[in-house]
């Protein structure tokens, strides 16, 4: 494919910066011949973190597999906004079956590819946090323990956004959702609940587990590429802010994701066979408050009289994970 | 080759000869012997290339089959009872997406109370799931129906359920002519799916359909199901020419010519029923039997034709639709010619044997007017026990004089 | 020609295997046959029944045998259950695994239906001798062959051999020998005083 030589004065500094990198380090998205696996024109909300993540993940996986990719999608926002019949945003073979079975369906696809001599075709399953940590956990755990050759990507927006923002097993403590309203002395979603799926995945000792956010697309692409270079069950957990459900500004999606990592609330790391092998250190550590204040789901923590105790508890949670994963380079040294 | 072997093993051998590429199954009695045998065949390489997935649940089993079928592989699973219900969400998904696959249902009762024995509650509860449903009356037919099912499924691009009575057939050792590999290969062409997940030709399968088109999609599904009736007959006829024996098809009438009373039933009870019909014919009673092999789609016209001129129809229901009556009986009523008395009878639930004595008594009770046609009859019921329990419940809920316990 | 057998025993005694072995032997000699287990959950020691039909005509029915020509009782303690002899006609046969003789059983109140033909075989003892364990199955099958005269001893031996082939030749041999021993014993008994007429 021919490309027009780029002149620096034609574009903003971010894009130009990408092109100043060594070609091997450039993002998939910066390439004119990227797969564009999800075309524009789909029905995602403005500022949707999931749509951005899915595009980046899919294009990276397409590049890593040379276009030999099939994807299975759980029910959820991604499925709904991308395939309103008779339209489809997908430029890859795409199958949606049910909410809770994406992992098992993907296992079936992978088995079929193996049995029919098409091992070169790789399988990527994707689901939201509901379809991953809650209703889809049984099938996902089965896929993990059989070590089926599937990369399962969870786009975690921390709740059931498609059905009107109810809590899921991935909703953080203190968050207000449609069914965890901070009424009376309530704080929203309770402490001591929820599950940490990357750690559950690691407990299965599968070849590869990683977390990422849409705040670092280079990192996200690199992890998809790394995942696709391996065989067996792999799990990628991507934090994707949801302006609708989180009450954040549509223009703040990337910023919110970045603050989630920089506050320590969302550790970014890689693990192989159950052991953490790589962490992304925090560059500029921020108090959790900086992250929480951008989202109306945490507003009740800051309106008079406020809940400094809850904020402190969340800060403690972040501090614990920073220590656990060694995310603070200064503390580590 | 004719062999004396267990029904499950005969079915497993036959399924293997149909060369499935993916088998996914979760163990549940009485289906286990079938999938155990298949897992062994896969492990020994006797079925290569084939992948056997030991899934975490029946929901996972059918989901894996959905993925495998969508990826273009011939796909098989087996289940029973609660397992079928655990698949319930995925059943209409497989049919709605038009994915061919074959599933054996080793028919077993549904709980509560938990019961592992045979009746038809499981399969009949899923009658509207959009699957073709075939019922085997013997192990020979079970074997033959599996070969036919793969052909049917792939021609119609619909999933097919082959129902065989749990334990009664699955665990019965009897003589079966298991089709030879060459015969099956000649009968069953390679699987060429209508749609398949293929990077060279990307398709979107499972899009969301709104009110503007949903009704039309459902209309087409209903249309396709009914059109499959012709395929069921056609495949059965082709099977007969290829294998030299009659198996499957829509209906199996037995001595219905000139019959005034016809007993309609599904499954393994048909053998005993034929024996009883012979006995009663010898005694001068004009009785016959009508086996329903193809339960879904329901052969409306064929059943109506088979029952024309019959005065009394007795429906043997091996499942209850609590709150409304019977299931098979309601289908039969749709097709019974005007003026026919339909005697709707429930028996043989949860493994209670439907013996020849019971069937004989049933027919004679209908003839002598002891089994009516105005309401559902529980036949072979321990009336004393049921009445005692009802009386006790009544005493518990309506305390005499407002006191006591 | 037909023979309907009902087998009563306990989980682990090989009730279902016995029915299958008889059916396979019958099939091998060109007859039609069917073995039907009536399963419970898989628990050792629980009462289990199985049916076997043998006929020179194809068998259509799949209901359990309710009018047996012969009832095989693998465990004596089951005899107190009235279901064991249910449906057995007056000229039917009861084959019991016991070292006690018939008079002794009668004294114990275990013999009902005086018109029936009773045969006892110490199958546990025979099995203990040959196999080192009380597995009454094959001995009782040998007895059925002796009593009914319907099955060819060679067909039965073949069916036993195939069934136990996986356990080694000596196990298969011992089981065939067990069947033969019981066959001989029954032959003597039916000629002698063991029958209950």
Which candidate, B245, B250, B243, B280, places its Cα nearest to that of B266?
B250
Q: Is C39 close to B30, i.e. CB distance below 8 A?
A: yes
CB nearest to B272's CB, from C16, C27, C62: C62
B279 and B223 in a common domain: no
Q: Is C36 close to B171, i.e. CB distance below 8 A?
A: yes
CA B351 – CA B366 distance, rounded (Å): 23
| Chains with 3 or more CB pairs under 8 A to chain C | B
Q: Answer with the residue of higher pLDDT: B235 or C113.
A: B235
- Residue B6 has a CB neighbour count (10 Å cut-off) of 23
Q: Is A114 close to B59, i.e. CB distance below 8 A?
A: no
What are the residue boundaries of the structural domains of chain A, listed by start?
Answer: 34-332
Neighboring chain A residues of B197 at a CB cutoff of 8 Å: 70, 93-95, 109
Asked, for residue B82, whether it belongs to a domain, the answer is yes
Q: pLDDT band at C106, cuts 50/70/90?
A: confident
pLDDT above 50: residue C26: yes
Asked, for residue B169, whether it belongs to a domain, the answer is yes
Measured between CA atoms, the residue of chain B closest to residue A90 is B204
Which strand ranges, in their side-by-side order, compose the sheet holding B377-378? B251-254, B287-292, B261-265, B312-317, B341-346, B377-378
SS (H, E, C) chain C: CEEEEEEEEECCCCHHHHHHHHHHHHHHCCCEEEEEEECCCCCCCCEEEEEEEEECCCCCCCCCCCCCCEEEECCHHHHHCHHHHCCCCCCCEEEEECCCCHHHHHHCCCCCCCCCEEEEECHHHHHHHHHCCCCCHHHHHHHHHHHHCCCCHHHHHHHHHHHHHHHCHHHHHHHHHHHHHHHHHHHHHHHCCCCCC
Asked, for residue B259, whether it belongs to a domain, the answer is yes
Q: Is B365 helix (H, G, I), strand (E, B) or coil?
A: helix
CB nearest to B72's CB, from A84, A104, A116: A116
Give me C124's structure tokens.
Answer: 């546990």
Neighboring chain A residues of B207 at a CB cutoff of 8 Å: 83-88, 96
Neighboring chain B residues of C38 at a CB cutoff of 8 Å: 167, 353
Whole-number pLDDT of residue A33: 84
Q: Answer with the residue of higher pLDDT: C110 or B204.
A: B204
Measured between CA atoms, the residue of chain B closest to residue A111 is B51
> Chain C contact for B41, CB < 8 A?
no
Q: Answer with the residue of higher pLDDT: C6 or C195.
A: C6
> Chain B contact for C27, CB < 8 A?
yes
Chains B and C touch (3+ CB pairs under 8 A): yes
B279 and B200 in a common domain: no
CB–CB of A236/A153 below 8 Å?
yes
Q: Is B174 close to C37, i.e. CB distance below 8 A?
A: no
Asked, for residue B223, whether it belongs to a domain, the answer is yes
Q: pLDDT band at A6, cuts 50/70/90?
A: low
Which strand ranges, in their side-by-side order, compose the sheet holding B173-177? B2-6, B173-177, C32-38, C47-55, C2-10, C70-73, C93-97, C117-121
For residue B8, give the H/E element and its range: helix B7-17
Q: What is the pLDDT of residues A69-124, one digit of tens each?
A: 999 999 999 999 999 989 999 999 999 999 999 999 999 999 999 999 999 999 99
Which candidate, B220, B146, B131, places its Cα nearest to that of B179?
B146
CA distance A272 to chain B (A): 24
Q: Is C66 close to B173, i.e. CB distance below 8 A?
A: no
Neighboring chain C residues of B354 at a CB cutoff of 8 Å: 63
Q: Is A112 close to B67, i.e. CB distance below 8 A?
A: yes
Q: Is A100 close to B203, i.e. CB distance below 8 A?
A: no
How would CATH label the architecture of A34-332? 3-Layer(aba) Sandwich (3.40)
B265 and B223 in a common domain: no
Q: How many CB pairs under 8 A join B and C?
A: 71
Whole-number pLDDT of residue C197: 35
* Region C147-176 average pLDDT: 93
B341 and B221 in a common domain: no
pLDDT above 80: residue A331: no
Q: Is C62 close to B169, i.e. CB distance below 8 A?
A: yes
Whole-number pLDDT of residue C2: 94
CA A217 – CA A18 distance, rounded (Å): 12
Neighboring chain B residues of A105 at a CB cutoff of 8 Å: 63-64, 66-67, 70
Give the dihedral sign, CA A199/A200/A206/A209. negative
> Chain B contact for C162, CB < 8 A?
no
CA distances from A282 to A211, A214, B192, B357, C117 (A): 14, 15, 53, 81, 91
B227 and B83 in a common domain: yes
CB–CB of B229/B250 below 8 Å?
yes
B216 and B278 in a common domain: no
Report which DSSP code applies to A265.
S
CB–CB of A309/A254 below 8 Å?
no
CA A148 – CA B194 distance, rounded (Å): 26
ipTM of the complex: 0.94
CA A257 – CA A260 distance, rounded (Å): 5
Q: Is C37 close to B167, i.e. CB distance below 8 A?
A: yes
Q: pLDDT band at C84, cuts 50/70/90?
A: very high
Neighboring chain C residues of B175 at a CB cutoff of 8 Å: 27, 32-33
CA B167 – CA B30 distance, rounded (Å): 6
DSSP, residue by residue, A206-219: -SEEEEEETT-HHH
CB–CB of B345/B314 below 8 Å?
yes
Q: What is the pLDDT of residues A30-81, one digit of tens each?
A: 888 889 999 989 999 999 999 999 999 999 999 999 999 999 999 999 999 9
Neighboring chain A residues of B68 at a CB cutoff of 8 Å: 108-109, 111-112, 115
For residue A155, give the H/E element and its range: strand A151-156
Q: pLDDT band at C43, cuts 50/70/90?
A: confident
CB–CB of C106/C79 below 8 Å?
no
Measured between CA atoms, the residue of chain C closest to residue B267 is C62
Q: Is C60 close to B168, i.e. CB distance below 8 A?
A: no
- Most C CBs within 10 A among B8, B166, B172, hence the mutation to make, goes to B172
> Chain C contact for B165, CB < 8 A?
yes
Neighboring chain B residues of A58 at a CB cutoff of 8 Å: none
Exposure letters C159-185 (e unless 16+ CB within 10 A, then b): bbeebbeeeeeebbebbbbbbbbbbeb
Q: Which residues have C-beta within 8 Å of that of residue B404, sequence separation ≥ 6?
A: none
Tell me the CATH number at B146.
3.40.50.970
| Chains with 3 or more CB pairs under 8 A to chain B | A, C
Give me C196's structure tokens.
Answer: 């209950």
Tell me which residue has tokens 């795409």.
Answer: A94
User: What is the residue-averaged pLDDT of chain C?
Assistant: 89
Q: Is B70 close to A109, i.e. CB distance below 8 A?
A: yes
Q: Is B63 close to A114, i.e. CB distance below 8 A?
A: no
CA distance B61 to chain A (A): 7
Please state the domain count of chain C.
1
Tell me the CATH number at C68.
3.40.920.10
Rounded to whole angstroms, the maximal C-alpha distance in chain C is 43
Structural domain span for residue B330: 251-384
Neighboring chain B residues of C39 at a CB cutoff of 8 Å: 29-30, 116-117, 167, 171
CA distance B245 to chain A (A): 33
Q: Is C62 close to B269, i.e. CB distance below 8 A?
A: yes
Tell me which residue has tokens 């073709």.
Answer: B132
CB–CB of B362/B269 below 8 Å?
no
Beta bridge partners of B51: B22
Chains A and C touch (3+ CB pairs under 8 A): no
A197-211, A235-249, C67-81, range with the lowest pLDDT: C67-81
Asked, for residue C41, whether it belongs to a domain, the answer is yes
B207-221, C106-120, C174-188, range with the lowest pLDDT: C106-120
B154 and B261 in a common domain: no
Q: Is B272 close to C60, i.e. CB distance below 8 A?
A: yes
Give me B190's structure tokens.
Answer: 């390679």
- Most C CBs within 10 A among B173, B274, B291, B357, hence the mutation to make, goes to B173
* Region A136-150 average pLDDT: 98
Mean pLDDT by 10 residues, chain B (405 residues): 96 98 97 97 93 98 98 98 98 98 98 96 98 98 98 98 97 97 96 95 96 96 96 98 97 97 98 98 98 98 97 98 94 96 97 96 97 94 96 80 50
B284 and B368 in a common domain: yes
Tell me the CATH number at B269.
3.40.50.920
pLDDT above 90: residue A330: no
Asked, for residue B403, whether it belongs to a domain, the answer is no
Please state the domain count of chain B.
2
Neighboring chain B residues of C20 at a CB cutoff of 8 Å: 6, 173
B185 and B43 in a common domain: yes
Asked, for residue C20, whether it belongs to a domain, the answer is yes
Q: Is C61 close to B272, i.e. CB distance below 8 A?
A: yes
Q: pLDDT band at C111, cuts 50/70/90?
A: confident
Length of chain B measured in residues = 405
Give me A164's structure tokens.
Answer: 């009107």
Report which DSSP code applies to A118.
-
Q: pLDDT band at A19, cuts 50/70/90?
A: low
CB nearest to A108's CB, from B63, B89, B97: B63
CB nearest to B90's CB, from A86, A101, A121: A101
Neighboring chain A residues of B54 at a CB cutoff of 8 Å: 146
Asked, for residue C24, whether it belongs to a domain, the answer is yes
Rounded to whole angstroms, the maximal C-alpha distance in chain B is 80
> Chain C contact for B269, CB < 8 A?
yes
Structural domain span for residue C171: 2-191
B203 and B55 in a common domain: yes
Asked, for residue B55, whether it belongs to a domain, the answer is yes
Give the dihedral sign, CA C182/C185/C190/C194. negative
Asked, for residue B399, whether it belongs to a domain, the answer is no
- Number of helical H runs and strand E runs in chain A: 13, 8
Asked, for residue B273, whether it belongs to a domain, the answer is yes
User: What is the residue-averaged pLDDT of chain A?
Assistant: 93
Give the dihedral sign, CA A299/A300/A305/A311. negative
């Amino acid at each position: 494919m021919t490309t027009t030589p780029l002149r620096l004065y034609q574009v903003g500094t971010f894009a130009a910066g990408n092109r100043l990198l060594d070609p091997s380090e450039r993002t998939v998205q910066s390439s004119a011949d990227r797969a564009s696996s999800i075309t524009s024109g789909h029905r995602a909300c403005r500022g949707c973190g999931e749509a951005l993540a899915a595009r980046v993940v899919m294009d990276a996986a397409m590049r890593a597999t040379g276009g030999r990719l099939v994807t299975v999608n759980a029910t959820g926002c991604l499925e709904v906004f991308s395939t309103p019949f008779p339209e489809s945003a997908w430029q890859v073979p795409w199958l949606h079956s049910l909410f809770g079975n994406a992992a098992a369906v993907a296992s079936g696809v992978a088995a079929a590819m193996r049995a029919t001599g098409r091992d070169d075709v790789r399988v990527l399953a994707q689901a939201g946090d509901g379809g991953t940590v809650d209703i889809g956990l049984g099938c996902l755990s089965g896929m993990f323990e059989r070590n089926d050759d599937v990369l399962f990507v969870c786009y975690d927006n921390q709740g059931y956004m498609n059905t009107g923002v109810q809590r899921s097993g991935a909703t953080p403590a203190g968050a207000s959702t449609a069914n965890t309203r901070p009424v009376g002395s309530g704080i929203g979603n309770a402490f001591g609940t929820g599950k940490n799926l990357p750690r559950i995945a690691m407990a299965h000792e599968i070849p590869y587990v990683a977390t990422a956010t849409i705040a670092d697309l280079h990192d996200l692409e690199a992890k998809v590429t790394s995942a696709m270079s391996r065989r067996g069950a792999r799990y990628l957990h991507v934090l994707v802010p949801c302006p609708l459900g989180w009450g954040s500004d549509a223009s703040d999606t990337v910023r919110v994701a970045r603050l989630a990592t920089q506050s320590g609330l969302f550790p970014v790391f890689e693990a192989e066979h159950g052991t953490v092998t790589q962490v992304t250190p925090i560059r500029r550590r921020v108090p959790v408050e900086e992250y929480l204040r951008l989202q109306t789901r945490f507003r009740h923590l800051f309106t008079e009289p406020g809940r400094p105790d809850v904020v402190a508890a969340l800060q403690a949670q972040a501090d614990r994970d920073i220590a656990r994963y060694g995310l603070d380079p200064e503390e580590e040294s | 080759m004719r062999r004396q072997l267990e029904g499950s093993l005969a079915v497993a051998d036959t399924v293997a000869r149909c060369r499935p590429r993916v088998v996914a199954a979760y163990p549940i009695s009485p289906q286990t012997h079938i999938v155990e045998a298949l897992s062994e065949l896969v492990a020994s390489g006797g079925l290569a290339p084939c992948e056997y997935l030991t899934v975490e649940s029946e929901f996972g089993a059918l989901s894996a089959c959905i993925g495998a079928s969508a990826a273009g592989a011939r796909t098989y699973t087996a289940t029973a009872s609660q397992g079928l219900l655990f698949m319930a969400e995925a059943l209409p998904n497989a049919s709605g997406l038009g994915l061919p696959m074959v599933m054996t249902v080793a028919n077993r009762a549904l709980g509560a109370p938990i019961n592992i024995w045979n009746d038809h509650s499981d399969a009949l509860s899923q009658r509207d799931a959009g699957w073709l449903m075939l019922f085997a009356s013997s192990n020979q037919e079970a074997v033959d129906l599996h070969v036919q099912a793969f052909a049917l499924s792939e021609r119609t691009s619909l999933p097919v359920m082959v129902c065989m009575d749990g334990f009664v057939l699955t665990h019965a050792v009897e003589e079966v002519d298991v089709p030879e590999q060459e015969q099956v290969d000649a009968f069953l062409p390679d699987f060429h799916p209508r749609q398949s997940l293929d990077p060279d030709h990307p398709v979107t399968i499972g899009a969301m359909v709104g009110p503007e088109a949903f009704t039309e999609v459902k209309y087409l599904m209903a249309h396709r199901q009914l059109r499959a009736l012709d395929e069921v007959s056609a495949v059965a006829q082709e099977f007969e020419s290829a294998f030299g024996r009659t198996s499957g098809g829509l209906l199996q009438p037995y001595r219905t010519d000139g019959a005034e009373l016809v007993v309609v039933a599904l499954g393994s009870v048909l053998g005993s029923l034929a024996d009883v019909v012979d006995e009663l014919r010898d005694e001068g009673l004009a009785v016959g039997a009508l086996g329903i092999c193809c339960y879904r789609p329901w052969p409306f016209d064929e059943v109506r034709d088979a029952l024309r001129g019959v005065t009394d129809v007795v429906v043997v229901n091996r499942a209850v639709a609590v709150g409304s009556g019977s299931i098979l009986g309601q289908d039969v009523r749709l097709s019974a010619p005007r003026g026919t008395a339909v005697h709707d009878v429930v028996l043989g639930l949860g493994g209670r044997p439907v013996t020849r004595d019971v069937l004989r008594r049933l027919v004679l009770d209908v003839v002598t007017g002891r089994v009516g046609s105005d309401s559902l009859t529980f036949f072979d019921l321990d009336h004393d026990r049921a009445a005692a329990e009802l009386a006790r419940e009544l005493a518990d809920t309506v305390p005499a004089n407002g006191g006591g316990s | 020609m037909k023979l309907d057998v009902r087998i009563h025993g306990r989980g682990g005694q090989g009730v279902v295997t016995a029915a299958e072995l008889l059916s396979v032997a019958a099939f091998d000699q060109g007859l039609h046959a069917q073995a039907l287990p009536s399963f419970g959950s898989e628990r050792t020691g629980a009462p289990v029944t199985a049916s076997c039909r043998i006929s020179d005509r194809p068998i259509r029915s799949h209901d359990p045998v309710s009018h047996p020509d012969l009832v095989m009782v693998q465990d004596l303690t089951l005899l107190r259950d009235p279901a064991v002899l249910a449906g057995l006609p007056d000229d039917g046969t009861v084959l019991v695994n016991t070292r006690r003789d018939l008079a002794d059983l009668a004294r114990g109140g275990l013999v009902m239906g005086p018109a029936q033909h009773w045969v006892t075989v110490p199958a546990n003892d025979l099995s203990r001798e040959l196999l080192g364990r009380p597995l009454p199955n094959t001995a009782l099958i040998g007895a059925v062959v002796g009593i009914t005269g319907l099955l060819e001893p060679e067909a039965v031996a073949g069916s036993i051999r195939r069934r136990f082939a996986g356990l080694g030749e000596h196990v298969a041999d011992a089981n065939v020998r067990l069947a033969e021993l019981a066959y001989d014993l029954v032959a003597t008994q039916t000629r002698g005083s063991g029958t209950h007429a």
